[in-house]
Structure 1
Amino acid sequence: MAYARGQRSFVRYPGGIEYTRYFTHWFNWAEKPRDSAAGGGSICRMTDERSERSFLPLTHEHLSRLAYFAEVDHQQFRQKHPEWAADLLACCLVQGGARHYVRGDRGVKDLDVYLLYTLPAGRNGGQFPWNRGANTRNRDFGVSELGRQLYTAADRADPKIARKIPAWERYSGRRVDLLSRAIPAHDDGPRAAVEAWLKGATGESTPWDLRRVPVICLYPEFGELWWTGPDLDEPGIEKGVYG
């Protein structure tokens, strides 16, 4: 990933969170609209209240913060697995967060972001080093008006979730889940590659799950709707219930 020379910036988020970073070609923070029909507006009322879901709108500022987490994750992955990280096709908001960003009818429990890499020649997707759910990276979204997640009795009864809840409850904001896959490239570019991956999905697979909801691009086309998903919101239509 190429960094623009000399363009260093300090990005301060609500709640006093400050990140030092370099602008990449992903997007220009200053150029993003703040008043579009889907995702416009700015982060305003901060809260640390817990709820199962926040029904406040997701904004471009929220997407910007997710894009930052994705960029940091990519840099860490590139250091560990340079042979797989040579070509980052796309980063996308998926699952329930994407559904809520588009339609505002599902609420936000946590925020799921996929980093999609070009599948290297001679490899198959099953060989990708972070190809399993066990390799999900959890991050703290930080203070925002989305609040913090309230973990239910059902969550605490699930051994796989319960052992992680003590750490998650220390977060100051919603949980961000970062996941990665390697997919075939497409002659028509990253968006076409993602669409082909989703359209070619079979049951009980990651793309089959993801195609049941919208897909919002964080990179390379920040804030663009790449996949609409179904019109109706049907809990359980994907794996489990929308995340």
Structure 2
Amino acid sequence: EANAGLEEVPGLLEEARRQGIDVEEVDLSKQDEEKRRALYEQAAAAAVRSHCGIHKIFGSRRRGYGPHFGREAPALLVYRGEERIPAEVYPCRRRGRVMSIRDFLKGLPEAERSFEPIRREDLARLAEIARGALEDFIRRHPRWAPYRERLAAIALCQGAACHYLDGRTGVKDFDVWLFFSEIPGQPFPYRWHSRYDYGPSRFGRTPGFWGLGRRVDVLGRSLKISPDEDPARAISGYLASRRKSARHLWEKAVILLDPPERLGEIVWEGRCGSGQQPGDLASPAR
């Protein structure tokens, strides 16, 4: 599993060179154990820095270093800027998923923003990630399970929502918000903020992000609305409140992702880099 797509790696490394990325290849079969141990220690440090696991891939720690490192399992160390220690290592295991060398290289080059258009299937993918994030949260904190039935809307917000509208803003990452009908006396934790990986796609990879694609920031807020409140009306009311987080969302666009039958509906057009004041809130029927 860790070596998946390994036959593509030489060509991907050559493409990275053509993109101006420095690439050095080291054949550990021609190096002594001291050199291999030193490189493994760098890999282990990179795994800690990037919050991933490598011991199940490169072998047990009983011998002080991975016995498979650079032998049965080739490794890729990623250095950023002028740093002399690696920031990431591949393959690695994160959130129960193995991220291969091939998958990382396919995300290059890392552009600050992607200007690929956002399609309806991309919106559906973001809704799926957001629902999965909620389930992860409830699995870790069962006391919040009642909010599963109080979900009023899921929306794409901020710059990516603007890019969906104008195709010019670009996508640095995806900001996805879940809005709930508040349970009296038990508001949804407003500090909840989870980060997920969109995965390899035409959008590329968020620079410096631990995942293989664009970062997806998932946030949530409970609103003092009835469970049957219209989703667009509920979000519009929240934006009109001009609370701190609402003011940030008010600057940019808001696009519905859920309910599924209203996927892609424009709730709010915002300013979206036009230099103009945000437009009117969209009506629920829009």
Structure 2 distance, partners of 1:47, 1:232, is 27
How far the C-alpha of 1:121 sits from its partner, in A, is 2.2
TM-aligned CA distance change 1:100 to 1:64, over 3 Å: same
Could you say which residue in structure 1 is the equivalent of 2:28? none
For residues 29-76 of structure 1, the C-alpha deviation after alignment (integer angstroms, 9 at most, x for no partner) is xxxxxxxxxxxxxxxxx7532000011111112112111101111223
Partner of 1:91, secondary structure, is: strand
Structure 1 distance, partners of 2:108, 2:254, is 28
Residues 150-161 of structure 1 correspond to what in structure 2 (within 5 A)? 150=207
Preserved contact between residue 252 and residue 272 of structure 2 (Cα < 8 Å): no
Partner of 1:148, secondary structure, is: coil
Structure 1 distance, partners of 2:229, 2:241, is 16
Structure 2 distance, partners of 1:232, 1:96, is 9
Could you say which residue in structure 1 is the equivalent of 2:196? 139
Could you say which residue in structure 2 is the equivalent of 1:100? 163
TM-aligned CA distance change 1:63 to 1:48, over 3 Å: farther
Residues 45-60 of structure 1 correspond to what in structure 2 (within 5 A)? 47-60=107-120
Could you say which residue in structure 1 is the equivalent of 2:15? none
The reply on whether 1:175 has 2:175 as its aligned counterpart is no
Could you say which residue in structure 1 is the equivalent of 2:182? 119
Partner of 2:108, secondary structure, is: coil
Q: Which has the larger radius of gyration?
A: 2
Residues 1-243 of structure 1 correspond to what in structure 2 (within 5 A)? 47-79=107-139, 80=141, 81-123=144-186, 127-129=187-189, 131-132=190-191, 135-150=192-207, 165=208, 168=209, 170-185=210-225, 188-202=229-243, 205-220=244-259, 221-230=262-271, 232-234=273-275
Tell me the TM-score normalised to structure 1 length. 0.62
Partner of 2:221, secondary structure, is: strand
CA-atom RMSD, angstroms?
Answer: 2.3
How far the C-alpha of 1:140 sits from its partner, in A, is 1.0
How many residues align structurally? 166
Q: Where in structure 1 do 4 or more consecutive aligned residues deviate above 6 Å? A: none
Name whichever structure is richer in strand by fraction. Answer: 1
How far the C-alpha of 1:84 sits from its partner, in A, is 3.5
Structure 2 distance, partners of 1:206, 1:188, is 21
Could you say which residue in structure 1 is the equivalent of 2:95? none
How far the C-alpha of 1:231 sits from its partner, in A, is 5.9
Structure 2 distance, partners of 1:184, 1:85, is 16
How far the C-alpha of 1:104 sits from its partner, in A, is 1.4
Partner of 1:48, secondary structure, is: coil
Name whichever structure is richer in helix by fraction. Answer: 2
Structure 2 distance, partners of 1:61, 1:53, is 20
For CA contacts below 8 A with separation 6 or more, give which structure has more relative contact order: 1
How far the C-alpha of 1:223 sits from its partner, in A, is 1.2
For residues 161-201 of structure 1, the C-alpha deviation after alignment (integer angstroms, 9 at most, x for no partner) is xxxx4xx2x42111111111111215652211111111121
Preserved contact between residue 48 and residue 143 of structure 1 (Cα < 8 Å): no
